Every structure is written in structure tokens, then in C-alpha cells.
């Protein structure tokens, strides 16, 4: 059996500490995102304490999932646009410039959520990612992330642990 690597599995160690998506953050969510055709997908089961009001998921967690799945998708899309694998150099990492969330209806707690994304627009180093979150097959949240590629000097400082 071949293991399928998630976008986040390719992040360099020095950039893998993010609370939302870093595989090296023991306290964090460690989300995993994958391509599914032209869309990307991520599954996540909130903890019982990720509560807003009884029975429903806390919106701040949903913002975190949309945010990190969005920057991960922007990164994967940038590699894809260059026709190279995520295990090739140099690494392409993205930060969030803006995040918009529309909470369409309450998201039930206690089930696996599905977060899906699609690249809406690429403008130079900016990638706009549109997303939606499904609970029991129903879209409860729509989101949009404007992700910006980390500037080269900042990236090289981060990779060398200079920050």
C-alpha cells in the first residue's frame, strides 16, 4: 500500500509548526489537505470542547480550518502551476493576507467535517482560494482566503531559523 502524502507533509521542518496545519505542533490541529481533481479536500473531527453553543462547532475553529486549508491549497496550486512536485526545491509557502467567512447555518458538533477548496484566481504571488465546509453533506460555511507567497528573504530567514 502506498501512503498518500498531504500538502502539509511536504512543508520544511522549520515551517511545520503552525497551530492549524503544522505536523510538528503537538498542540495543534495538524490538518491534512489533498487534491481531489481540481478541488482540494480536508477532513476534520472537532473535539467536544470546540463548542460554540451546545451541539454546534465554534466559529473560530472553522475559520482556522478554512485559513490553513486555504494556504495549503494555494501552495499546492503554485507547485502545480510550475509543473513540479511538492518535494522539490525551492519550497513555496503562503501566508494569509485576508480571510472572509460566511456562516450560513450552525455546524453540528460530533461528526467529521469536510472542507473543500478551489483556486479562484492567481495574480502574481497572490492566490485567491474559495472554500466551503460541509457537515452531513450540507454546506454550513463559505470562506475565501487571499494567500500571498512568502517573500524570498523572509522565507530564507525562516528556513535558517533567523526570525
What are the residues binding a copy of itself (CB under 8 A)? 14-15, 17-20, 22, 25-28, 47, 49-56, 58-61, 63-65, 67-68, 95-103, 106, 158, 161, 163
Alpha carbon distances (Å) from 4 to 10, 49, 68, 100, 126: 11, 30, 19, 30, 27
* First-last CA distance in the chain: 40
Closest to a copy of itself by CB, 10 vs 56, is: 56
Residue 14 vs 114, nearer CB to a copy of itself: 14
Distance separating alpha carbons of residues 110 and 29, to the nearest angstrom = 16
Q: Which residues contact 107 (CB under 8 A, 6 or more apart)?
A: 56, 57, 62, 113, 133, 135, 140, 141
- Cβ proximity to a copy of itself: between 3 and 46 the closer is 46
Nearer to a copy of itself, 1 or 53 (CB): 53
State the minimum distance, in angstroms, from the CB of residue 38 to a copy of itself.
Answer: 25
- Pairing relationship of beta strands 138-149 and 113-123 according to DSSP bridges: unpaired
| Closest to a copy of itself by CB, 70 or 86 | 70
Amino acid at each position: 500500500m502506498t501512503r498518500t502524502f498531504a500538502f502539509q507533509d511536504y512543508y520544511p521542518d522549520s515551517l511545520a509548526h503552525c497551530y492549524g496545519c503544522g505536523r510538528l505542533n503537538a498542540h495543534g490541529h495538524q490538518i491534512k489537505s489533498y487534491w481531489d481533481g481540481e478541488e482540494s479536500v480536508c477532513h476534520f473531527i472537532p473535539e467536544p470542547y470546540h463548542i460554540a453553543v451546545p451541539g454546534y462547532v465554534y466559529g473560530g475553529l472553522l475559520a482556522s480550518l478554512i485559513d490553513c486549508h486555504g494556504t495549503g491549497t494555494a501552495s499546492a496550486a503554485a507547485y502545480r502551476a510550475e509543473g513540479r512536485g511538492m518535494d522539490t526545491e525551492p519550497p513555496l509557502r503562503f501566508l494569509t493576507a485576508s480571510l472572509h467567512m460566511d456562516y450560513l447555518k450552525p455546524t453540528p458538533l460530533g461528526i467529521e467535517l469536510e472542507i473543500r477548496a478551489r483556486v479562484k484566481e492567481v495574480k502574481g504571488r497572490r492566490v485567491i482560494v474559495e472554500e466551503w465546509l460541509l457537515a452531513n453533506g450540507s454546506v454550513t460555511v463559505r470562506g475565501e482566503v487571499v494567500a500571498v507567497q512568502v517573500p524570498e528573504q523572509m522565507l530564507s530567514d525562516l528556513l535558517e531559523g533567523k526570525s
